[in-house]
Amino acid sequence: MEQKGIVLEVTGTKALLRVYPDEACLHCRLCDAAREIELPVESMPRGVRKGDAVTVSSTMAPSLLIGLVYGLPLIFLLGGYVLGTLLFPHVGESGGVGGAALFFIVSLALVRAAGRRLNHREKILVSPLQKEKSDL
């Protein structure tokens, strides 16, 4: 996933970027529309200064994140309901609801742990923004 950004500040060891979502992503506003990220200077291309436009891309597949954030809790929720209903048939639907709630909470903990692991493996690539040539 590629996004455009602006270099806000470059210090001795860190660079601060403001990253803007692409046009297709602007409608939902779940990603805070614009966010600031701090990167080590080593990951920045040479010669990039404050105010320069850059392209920021991630090595992580968006489908992996979507599956992890939305799919795993949904599977755990449904599985918890079925398991709760099968294990506690004498309490009626309450067993299923309780199992669904318990498994959903467990899935959120798993998503958080997996997100932390993926965050350490993710590589953010920064390159200078290529200006489009106009046909005149």
Q: Does residue 81 contact residue 100 with C-beta atoms inside 8 Å?
A: yes
- Give the Cβ contact number of residue 58 at 10 Å: 14
- pLDDT tens profile 56-101: 777 666 677 777 888 899 999 999 999 999 999 999 889 999 999 9
For residue 51, what are the CA distances in angstroms to 32, 42, 102, 115, 136? 21, 18, 49, 31, 28
Q: pLDDT value at position 12?
A: 73
pLDDT-based confidence at residue 133 (cuts at 50, 70, 90): very low
Pick the closest to residue 115 from 63, 65, 67, 59 (CA basis): 65
- pLDDT band (50, 70, 90) for residue 35: low
For position 135, what pLDDT does the model report?
47
pLDDT, mean of residues 111-118: 82
Cβ distance 52 to 7 under 8 Å? yes
